[in-house]
Structure formats: structure tokens, C-alpha cells
């Protein structure tokens, strides 16, 4: 039988384009020790570490071997998980499994990215690594590597997300102005989150609309930054959780599914696969399963806030629908009415989300961490103005269709 | 013989990845001080374990190690392990015979607890033994680079 498990402490680094003052191990250690301090747990009390960043990023194949000493891991169980953009979500879920299974009582999940260790701008070096590793098989479908890099990998996830956004616009009837609104909201919310990267107090839809078009339908102001940073959570079994935290954030349900990879923007050279990259069936499946485990029957009513993985603003709308928070094709209408604002009926990404802060390996763990902060009442300036009973954290990655969904609550629910 | 339809060959990648890793403040000081022919170690303020090269968190007792915990090491030490190489890689994936065998030693510097790996010169392989007392040899002009430490020699 699985045990009840809760998050009892959260730690992050401040996110920025360049953390040149610390090496990778030191940056990751900052997040871990901040989380341990928040949980009032000594490194000696930790039994296991689940760690991760995006595979191929930073040019270090086994970073956990290097940083173990710096995060208090000597003599402890260490597992590294890498599932692309979802890495942090899988790392958080890995820590849950570690404790829920009864194998360990206290586990730390930590995830990070340090883009500035790459010479090329933004995430290019890392994405080329991952892109090539993942796309090599495409060569056997008759696409030369040069074309592949030009069409898929360069432009990074944007190269994938533009097609996804176009499909969504077509089937939902939303327009580019709605992407302006989501991006403006993300920057406004981020301004209230002291750890966030792109902070723009009072940012408006018009501010974003003024930024240059990069690749249709995305303007410069729509696109997430490449951040250096790390985030960590301390996960504990029920007795310790109740002793250590006034309000633990309980894991109530979780799942991870993928539909068939549509990594070449759904142009699938094998002759099978997903045609609409905004379909994201894996998200619907993960959400359904996670809500079932959490005992949530109507997410529209029972979920109080969501942290949606949205490096591109279209994705906040697409995935909020797939998470069952809005009817198909209607999230942009709720956005127009302000329902997704920090003080709205269904706040989406009160932290600013991935659109404002993107340390890739860490981002999906940050979604879980941010949901925990909202439940624990520790989100400070970006705390939503009502009691949060249930929150849902989403991760998108793999290459482009692996999903993690984690439901946290203010009680274990069973 | 394979036909073209059975294989896809990749001869070169269409990009070159570059990295510029930040070293962290302890290693930065370590590298800079090499210019002054100084080897810095980091002594844990809690348990006393001394790391060289220095680091900022003790792996033994989890204590934070600051810049104030950097100490000067003498550059003298003891050989605790070694190997002798007779070949090197030629950069094309092939072995090449060395003209003279090269000794690589694990050296524990005085007042340090961790070891560093360095070439050992000025001694024949058959004369090398664990416990040998050795001393750092700097390159002629030290510039604050890792290559400033050329090798070690018996004292
Ligand atoms: Zn120590």
C-alpha cells in the first residue's frame, strides 16, 4: 500500500540569464539548502535525492556525480531522471514514489538548468544536442540532418510550438491578441514573484503587441527566456510531514502519459502519428488519471489554481483545457474575462510560469513547487487571495508530447 | 556489403557545440593564485577535511566552506598511487607509442586530505614507490591557468 506523502519545504534560486558567480554544483546546492531550511530539516535527515536537468544540456553527461557532494548526498540514495522539458515534473514525481513506496521517509527533489554555461545564445547548444539525439532517427525517413536542424531544432521549442499554436487558433477561434494577453499576465505575475526572471510590473497586452514578430504567430514578447536557476522540494512521509509543517502540501494524485511523438511538427515521416500537435492527448490522459487518484470529480469546481507549463502563451490556453479546467476551445474567453488572473476564478500561473522563467530542467518541478507554495500559504506577493484546497501542476516535454500532471491538496484526501 | 537503403551514415554534425562553464568562486581563486605559484586548498571549518582543488561545500559534513577557509599549501606532498603509461592517444582514436614512458601519480599535498593527479617526472618507473616525497614544478611563466602546474618531481 502506498503511504501518504507531502511537500514540507520549498527552495529556489533567483532566476536570471547568467549566474556566472557560481558553478553548476553551487547553484543547485543553493536551491537544496533553501528547501531544507524552509522545511527545517537537516541534510542528515534526508534519505534520498531525486535530481535532474534536461539531457544533453550544459554539456555535462552525469552532473549528479559532480554535484552530489554539494547537496548533502554522500551516503544517500541518488537517482537522476531526465525526460526533456518534463524533467522537473518527473523528478518531483520520483521523489513522491521514493517516499510513498516506504523505501525512504524523506527525499529531496532538485532540478536545474544553467544555460549560460553554453556558448551559444539561449538554449541553442542544449537544444541542438537534444534535437540531434532525438531526431537522428528521422534521417532514416529520408530527411537530411542539415534540413532537420534548419527546420526543427533551430528555433528551439518555438519551432514546435508555432504549429501547435496555429492548430489551436484554427480550432478554438482565438487570435494572436490572446497570446499578448497571456504573456502580459505572465510578466505581471512574475513581477510579484521574487525568484522569477522576466519581471514587468503592470505589463499590458499593448506592451507585448508592440514587440517584433519572430515566427508567426509568436512575437518577441511571447517567448520565454533562457534562465539559469534551480528549484527543490523536500518530500516527507505523513508523520514527519505533520510534525514539521503547519500546512503540508499533500500529493493527492499524479500521472504521466505521452501520445505519439509529433516532434517534427506533426509532419510525421513514418506515416503514423499525431497530426494536430495541439491535440496533446497525453495531457488529457494524465489529468484524468491524476484526478481519479486524487478523488477529484469536477476539476472546474474542485481545482483552485493551476500552474500550467507555458513557455509559449498559446500553451497556457491549450493545456488548461486539456487539464479539464475549461471546456474545449474556451480558455481564451475565460482569459478575456480575467478569470485566469491572480485574483480570478481560476488563476493560471500566478507565479508567472515558464513564460517568465525557463531554467528548462527545473521548470516542471517549479510548477509543483509553486502549487505547494499556494497551498502552504507561502507564495508571498503572488499568493492568490483565497484559500487553496487543490492545485494542479503540469509539465510538457519529452520532446513535445510527454506530460506530467500532479495534483496537490491541503489534505491527503484519504 | 550493405546497400544504401540499409544504412544512414552520419559523418559530421552540422553544428559545433561550445561551452564556457563558470568555475565558481573557490576555483576561480585557485586558478588565479596559480599565477603567484600558490596552491590553495579549502579547509572545512567544521570537520577540518581539506580539499584541493578547493570547493564550497564539505562532502563529509555538509558544512559551507567560504573564501575565508582557503589555505595555502606548500606544493610538497606524498605519492599515494601511480601508474605508468606507454602509449598515448593520437587524437584520431588510435594509440601511439610514447618515446619515454610517462608516470602519472595521485599526490596528497601536505595539509590536504584529497589527492590530485599529476605527471611525475625526474624518476625512472622502476624507482617509483608509494610514499615517495614529491614537489610541484611550475612552468616557466605562470599565467593563472591550470597548465601553470607542469608536473611534480621527487624532492
Ligand atoms: Zn566538513
- DSSP string for A136-169: GGGGGGT--HHHHIIIIITTHHHHHHHHHHHHHH
- Judge if the upstream peptide bond of residue A217 is cis by omega within 30 degrees of 0: yes
CA distance A113 to A292: 32
Strands, E assignment, A212-345: 213-215, 218-219, 228-237, 249-258, 305-307
Q: Which residues 66-85 on chain A approach chain B with CB closer than 8 angstroms? A: 68-72, 74
Give the nearest chain B residue to A154 (CA atoms): B15
Between CA A132 and CA A290 the distance in angstroms is 33
CA angle A380, A345, A325 (to 5 degrees): 105
* Range with the poorest average pLDDT among A53-57, A254-258, A304-308: A53-57
What was the pLDDT predicted at A161?
83
Scanning B42-101 for CB atoms below 8 A from A yields 55-60, 62
**Residue A141 predicted with pLDDT over 80:** no
**A249 domain residue, yes or no:** yes
Domain annotation covers residue A399 = yes
Q: Does residue A214 belong to any structural domain of this protein?
A: no
Greater pLDDT, A385 or B11: A385
A218 falls within a domain: no
Q: What is the CA radius of gyration of chain A?
A: 20
Expressed in angstroms and rounded, the spacing between residue A25 Cα and the centre of ligand 1 is 17
Torsion sign across C-alpha atoms A48, A34, A246, A290? negative
Residue A154's pLDDT band, with cuts at 50, 70 and 90, is very low
Is A91 within a domain? yes
For residues A115 and A148, the model is more confident at A115
- The whole-angstrom separation of Cα A264 and Cα A277 is 10
The overall longest dimension of chain B from CA atoms, in Å, is 66
Residue A194: pLDDT above 90?
A: yes
- Per-residue confidence band for A114, with pLDDT thresholds at 50, 70 and 90: very high
Q: Which residues pair with A231 in a beta bridge?
A: A12, A111
Residue A138 lies in a domain: no
Does residue A199 surpass a pLDDT of 90? yes
Residue A396 lies in a domain: yes
Residue A156 lies in a domain: no
pLDDT, mean over chain A: 90
Count of domains for chain A: 1
Q: What pLDDT sits at residue A269?
A: 44
Residue A301, chain B, CB below 8 Å: the answer is no
What range does the domain containing A108 cover? 5-119+225-409
Buried b (16+ CB within 10 A) or exposed e, A111-121: bbbbbbbbebe
Q: Could you give the percent of chain A with pLDDT greater than 70?
A: 87
Q: What is the pLDDT of residue A398?
A: 78
Residue A397: band (very low, low, confident or very high) from pLDDT cuts 50, 70, 90 = confident
pLDDT at A378: 98
B27 touches A at CB < 8 Å: yes
- Point out the residues of chain B with pLDDT beneath 50: none
Residue whose C-alpha cell reads 571549518 in the numeric block: B45
Q: What is the residue whose three cell numbers read 484519504? A: A414
Q: Name the band, by pLDDT with cuts 50, 70 and 90, for residue A159.
A: low
Chain B residues in contact with A58 (beta carbon < 8 A): 19, 21
CATH of the domain at A237: 3.40.47.10
pLDDT in tens, A235-253: 999 999 999 999 999 999 9
- Residues of A within 8 A of B17 (CB-CB) are 59, 118-120, 125, 128-129
Q: For residue A356, is it left (φ>0), alpha (ψ between -120 and 50) or beta?
A: alpha
Task: Tell me which residue of B95, B94, B117, B121 sits closest to B107, measured CA to CA.
Answer: B117
Overall average pLDDT of the A387-401 stretch? 91
What is the structure's pLDDT at B93? 85
Please judge whether A118 and B17 are an interchain contact, meaning their C-beta atoms are less than 8 angstroms apart: yes
| B110 alpha carbon – ligand 1 mean position (Å) | 18
Interface test with A, best of B4, B21, B28, B56 (most A CBs within 10 A): B21
Residue A90 has pLDDT above 60, yes or no: yes
Contact across the interface for A139 and B19, Cβ inside 8 Å: no
Instruction: Check residue A268 and give its pLDDT.
Output: 42
Judged on CB neighbours under 10 Å (0-12, 13-18, 19+), A88 is buried
ipTM: 0.88
Would the CB atoms of A29 and B57 count as touching at under 8 Å? Answer: yes
Is B57 within 8 Å of A69 when comparing Cβ atoms? yes
A347 pLDDT above the threshold of 60 = yes
Cα(A343)–Cα(A391) distance, integer angstroms: 15
Q: Under 8 Å CB-to-CB from B88, ≥6 apart: which residues?
A: B95, B96, B98, B102
pLDDT, residue A153, reads 43
Question: What is the per-residue pLDDT for A267?
Answer: 42
How far, in Å, CA of A368 to CA of A39, rounded? 16
Q: Is the pLDDT of residue A18 over 70?
A: yes
Residue A139 pLDDT > 70, yes or no?
A: no
**Band (A60; pLDDT cuts 50, 70, 90):** confident
Amino acid at each position: 500500500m502506498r503511504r501518504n506523502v507531502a511537500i514540507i519545504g520549498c527552495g529556489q534560486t533567483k532566476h536570471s540569464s547568467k549566474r556566472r558567480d557560481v558553478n553548476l554544483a553551487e547553484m543547485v546546492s543553493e536551491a537544496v539548502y533553501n528547501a531544507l531550511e524552509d522545511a527545517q530539516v537537516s541534510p542528515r535527515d534526508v534519505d534520498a535525492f531525486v535530481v535532474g536537468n534536461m539531457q544533453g544540456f550544459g554539456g555535462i553527461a552525469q552532473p549528479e556525480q559532480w554535484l552530489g557532494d554539494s547537496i548533502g548526498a554522500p551516503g544517500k540514495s541518488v537517482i537522476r531522471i531526465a525526460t526533456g522539458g518534463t524533467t522537473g515534473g518527473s523528478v518531483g514525481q520520483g521523489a513522491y514514489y521514493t517516499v510513498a513506496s516506504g523505501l525512504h521517509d524523506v527525499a529531496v527533489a532538485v532540478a536545474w538548468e544553467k544555460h549560460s554555461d553554453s556558448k551559444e545564445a539561449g538554449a541553442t547548444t542544449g537544444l541542438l544536442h537534444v534535437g540531434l539525439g532525438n531526431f537522428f532517427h528521422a534521417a532514416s525517413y529520408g530527411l537530411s540532418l542539415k534540413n532537420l536542424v534548419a527546420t526543427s531544432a533551430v528555433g528551439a521549442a518555438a519551432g514546435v510550438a508555432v504549429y501547435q499554436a496555429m492548430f489551436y487558433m484554427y480550432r478554438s477561434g482565438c487570435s494572436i491578441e490572446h497570446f499578448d494577453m497571456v504573456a502580459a499576465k505572465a510578466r505581471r505575475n512574475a513581477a510579484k514573484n521574487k525568484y522569477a526572471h522576466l519581471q514587468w510590473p503592470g505589463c499590458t497586452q499593448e506592451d507585448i503587441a508592440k514587440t517584433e514578430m519572430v515566427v508567426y504567430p509568436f512575437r518577441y514578447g511571447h517567448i520565454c527566456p533562457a534562465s539559469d536557476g534551480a528549484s527543490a522540494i523536500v518530500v516527507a512521509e505523513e508523520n514527519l510531514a505533520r510534525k514539521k509543517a503547519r500546512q503540508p502540501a499533500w500529493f493527492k494524485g499524479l500521472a504521466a502519459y505521452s501520445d505519439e511523438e509529433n516532434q517534427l511538427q506533426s509532419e510525421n515521416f513514418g506515416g503514423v502519428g499525431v497530426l494536430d500537435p495541439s491535440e496533446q492527448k497525453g495531457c488529457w490522459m494524465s489529468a484524468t488519471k491524476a484526478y481519479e487518484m486524487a478523488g477529484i470529480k469536477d476539476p472546474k469546481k474542485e481545482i483552485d489554481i493551476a500552474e500550467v507549463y507555458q513557455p509559449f502563451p498559446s500553451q497556457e490556453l491549450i493545456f488548461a483545457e486539456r487539464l479539464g479546467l475549461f471546456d474545449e476551445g474556451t480558455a481564451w474567453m475565460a482569459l478575456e474575462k480575467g478569470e485566469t488572473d491572480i485574483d480570478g476564478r481560476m488563476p493560471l500561473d500566478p507565479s508567472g510560469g515558464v513564460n517568465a522563467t525557463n531554467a528548462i530542467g527545473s521548470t516542471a518541478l517549479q510548477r509543483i513547487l509553486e502549487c505547494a507554495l499556494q497551498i502552504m500559504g507561502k507564495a508571498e506577493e503572488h499568493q492568490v487571495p483565497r484559500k487553496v484546497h487543490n492545485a494542479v501542476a503540469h509539465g510538457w516535454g519529452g520532446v513535445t508530447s510527454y506530460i506530467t500532471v500532479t495534483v496537490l491538496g491541503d489534505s491527503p484526501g484519504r | 556489403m550493405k546497400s544504401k537503403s540499409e544504412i544512414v551514415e552520419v559523418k559530421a554534425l552540422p553544428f559545433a557545440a561550445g561551452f564556457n562553464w563558470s568555475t565558481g568562486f573557490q576555483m576561480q581563486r585557485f586558478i588565479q593564485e596559480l599565477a603567484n605559484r600558490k596552491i590553495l586548498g579549502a579547509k572545512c571549518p567544521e570537520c577540518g577535511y581539506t580539499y584541493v582543488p578547493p570547493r564550497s561545500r564539505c562532502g563529509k559534513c555538509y558544512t559551507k566552506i567560504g573564501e575565508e577557509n582557503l589555505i595555502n599549501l606548500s606544493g610538497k606532498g606524498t605519492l599515494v598511487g601511480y601508474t605508468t603509461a606507454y602509449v598515448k592517444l593520437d587524437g584520431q582514436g588510435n594509440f601511439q607509442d610514447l618515446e619515454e614512458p610517462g608516470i602519472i601519480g595521485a599526490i596528497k599535498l601536505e595539509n590536504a586530505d584529497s589527492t590530485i593527479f599529476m605527471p611525475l617526472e625526474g624518476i625512472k618507473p622502476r624507482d617509483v614507490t608509494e610514499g615517495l616525497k614529491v614537489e610541484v614544478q611550475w612552468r616557466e611563466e605562470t599565467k593563472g591557468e591550470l597548465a601553470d602546474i607542469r608536473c611534480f618531481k621527487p624532492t
